[in-house]
Structure 1
Amino acid sequence: MRESHNYKLKLGNRSTSVPGQKKRSTLVANTSGGNPSPFVVARSVALAMGIHFIVMVMICSTIIIINSLSNEAAPISLNETYCGPCPQNWICYRNNCYQFFSEKKSWLQSQASCMSHNSSLLKIYSKEEQDFLKLVKSYHWMGLIQNPANGSWQWEDGSIFSPSQLTLVEMENGTCVVYGSNFKGYTENCSTPNTYICMHGTV
């Protein structure tokens, strides 16, 4: 009788210990895989904010670079101060109006085109007053031509060329001049097609 009673008691102890162990293991599982700790949450938020900040910086940098590139590509779109009436789409700078024509013509054709717009080919009269021209890219016909009588260089209006106005680089067989960047002119065959710049003073 005693033996059977002891056996039942042992079985009872075993059966009561098993559910307790299951509850304990369930509790451990819940604490390890349930709600994350505050440290994990803070780290996730900081990481997300850092990524957001980096993306915003990259977007702002891209916009700044695009703006700077567009400004470099078209430095001639300046309008420093109001300087009087210029034709539509012409550039007003200081006391002159400028237009950059993209079609390519000979020097004489370019001159005729400027005259039809009541203007003349570009003349450099002051590096200080025309300082934006140093940023111009590519080559354009300007109003500087060689006098066939004596070989001297003069402007379209008949005034004598001065080396202080422009650095002239003489190429072979060139009697007309194209304007390059940074106040440099290059002699060119007058019949060669080039783009050109027209200008006229404001009233």
Structure 2
Amino acid sequence: MLVKLMPVKLQGLTLTVVSPVFPAGLYCCYAVIIVLTGAVIVLSVALSLSVRSQEQVSIKNTYAPCGRDWIGFGNKCFYFSEDTSNWTFSQNFCMELKTQLARFDNLEELNFLRRYKGTFEYWIGLHRESPQHPWRWMDNTEYNSSVPIRGVEKHAYLNNKWISSARSYADMRWICSMPNSCILQCQIPFASFLSLSRDAF
């Protein structure tokens, strides 16, 4: 604020009285301050909305927890059966869940399956047409042979130390796998499915 000095004489003394002056420039400064304050508020609100939007996207990309009877590892959920059956029944069981016999995409997933399965043998989703053909997953992609598969049969399973092959009618447990983003849509079938005649498979 600008001031104007005005001399005043009282009984031989000279006093200076300070008188406020409000020129147009001062009003202009007030207007600029108000505009800048408004801009800061608008930017703060915009940044807040942007952060909230990013948090919502992050929540959408977060994997849902695996459902009951499923075990999560990485971005997948695995179901370890307690019953035993042949390879065809095992695959049909997984298909009823809209999943497939287990697939591992790296050594970490394979090591997890080995640790969690304990001493039991489990069917997994590797198969081939003959010993001369390559191993393939259930979606028909070729197995990269990162871990050798023992034996000359057409269907693979996990045993205590490695991956082996067996004939499709061998009786053992099985593992289903799926991306855990599907878990909310998938449920374990009723016991009636398990009671189907396994001879049909």
Smaller-chain TM-score bracket: 0.5 to 0.7
Q: TM-score, normalised by structure 1?
A: 0.53
Alignment counterpart, residue 176 of structure 1, candidates 148, 155, 162: 155
Q: Could you say which residue in structure 2 is the equivalent of 1:102? A: 82
User: Is 1:147 equivalent to 2:129 in the alignment?
Assistant: yes
Let me know the Cα RMSD of the aligned residues: 2.1
Partner of 1:84: 64
Aligned to 1:104, the other structure's residue is in SS state: coil
Task: Tell me the amino acid that sits aligned with residue 151 of structure 1.
Answer: H
Instruction: Mark the CA change 1:118 to 1:87 in structure 2 (over 3 Å): closer, same or farther.
Output: farther
Aligned length: 118
Any unmatched runs of 5+ in structure 1? Answer: 1-81
List per-residue Cα deviations over 1:6-35 (Å, max 9, x = no partner).
xxxxxxxxxxxxxxxxxxxxxxxxxxxxxx
Following superposition, the deviation at residue 162 of structure 1 comes to: 1.6
SS of the residue 1:87 aligns to:
coil
Retained in 2: the 8 A contact 1:170–1:186? yes
Q: Distance in 2 between matches of 1:132 and 1:83?
A: 19
- Percentage of matched positions with identical amino acids: 22
Larger helix proportion, structure 1 or 2?
Answer: 1
In 2, are the aligned partners of 1:84 and 1:95 still within 8 Å (CA)? Answer: no
Per-residue deviation, 1:153: 1.2
- 2:95 is the alignment partner of 1:115: yes
Q: By how many angstroms is 1:106 displaced?
A: 0.9
Unaligned runs of 5+ in 2: 1-61, 182-201
SS in 2 for 1:153: coil
C-alpha contact 2:114 2:158 (8 A) present in aligned 1:
no
- Alignment partner, residue 191 of structure 1: 169
| Alpha-carbon distance in 1 for matches of 2:127, 2:140 | 10
Q: Distance in 2 between matches of 1:201 and 1:145?
A: 21
User: What is the deviation of 1:149?
Assistant: 9.8
1:200 to 148, 161, 178: 178
